[in-house]
């Protein structure tokens, strides 16, 4: 018998910097919240102002990082560890990524950041991102990728908003599978419920762009 949770699971996540009492723009927090939503687990979201971390939060997360979730009376950091623990404890519905898919799209986020921070249009960072998106496009053309791939969705959401705002760039039409994958994930109820506002995403990346 799979465990079910009746007591809401506590989770600390980044608070919005633009709107009081709203969820902020951390893709790793969103991944954990999506996992709660897709597994139909009740949760109690504690919003943390990362610019002014409260004492109670530093006691449970000495490094001051989010997300942290309370599982079996222990505070657990790191979205990889949290989602893995949730999978083990609440296996239904299964959201585990098969090992052969674990690396799919894994370099998209780092190449997106490289391009976003780039000041030189000829430095190859745009091409590096296009190469990653293109191999992801070829992969999803041939393979069903589950909407349960909850780690990539929030990162693609950041990519779309930040590059649209700072670079006036969007995923090209030559990558139709990536585009439809993004549309599918971004329109999931669980995604809509847990996503950050575009203003928060833009504000969150500003230091990287201006740096």
Catalytic residues: 26
* Rounded Cα gap, residues 75 and 50, in angstroms: 18
Q: In what order do the strands lie in the sheet with 9-14?
A: 43-48, 9-14, 68-71, 74-77
Instruction: Report the DSSP beta bridge partners of residue 75.
Output: 70
Alpha carbon 11 to chain centroid, angstroms: 15
Q: Are 14 and 201 in contact (CB under 8 A)?
A: no
* Rounded Cα gap, residues 144 and 142, in angstroms: 7
Angle between helical axes of 198-210 and 152-166 (0-180°, round to 10): 70
Q: Are 175 and 55 in contact (CB under 8 A)?
A: no
Q: How far is CA 151 from CA 2, 84, 147, 185, in A?
A: 23, 12, 10, 11
Q: Are 66 and 48 in contact (CB under 8 A)?
A: yes
* Rounded Cα gap, residues 16 and 14, in angstroms: 7
């Amino acid at each position: 018998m799979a465990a079910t949770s009746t007591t809401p699971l506590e989770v600390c996540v980044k608070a919005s910097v633009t709107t009081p009492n709203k969820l902020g723009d951390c893709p790793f927090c969103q991944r954990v919240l999506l996992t709660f939503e897709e597994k139909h687990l009740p949760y109690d979201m504690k919003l943390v102002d990362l610019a002014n971390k409260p004492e109670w939060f530093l006691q449970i997360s000495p490094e001051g990082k989010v997300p942290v979730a309370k599982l079996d009376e222990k505070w657990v950091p790191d979205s990889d560890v949290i989602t893995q623990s949730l999978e083990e404890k609440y296996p239904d519905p299964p959201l585990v990524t098969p090992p052969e898919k674990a690396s799919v799209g894994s370099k998209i986020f780092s190449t997106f950041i490289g391009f976003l921070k780039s000041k030189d249009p000829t430095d190859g960072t745009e091409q590096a991102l296009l190469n990653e998106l293109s191999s992801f496009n070829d992969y999803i053309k041939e393979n069903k990728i589950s909407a349960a791939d909850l780690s990539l969705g929030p990162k693609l959401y950041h990519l779309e908003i930040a590059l649209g705002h700072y670079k006036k760039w969007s995923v090209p039409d030559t990558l139709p599978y990536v585009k439809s994958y993004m549309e599918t994930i971004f329109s999931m109820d669980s995604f809509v419920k847990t996503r950050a506002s575009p203003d928060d995403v833009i504000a969150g990346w500003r230091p990287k762009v201006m740096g």
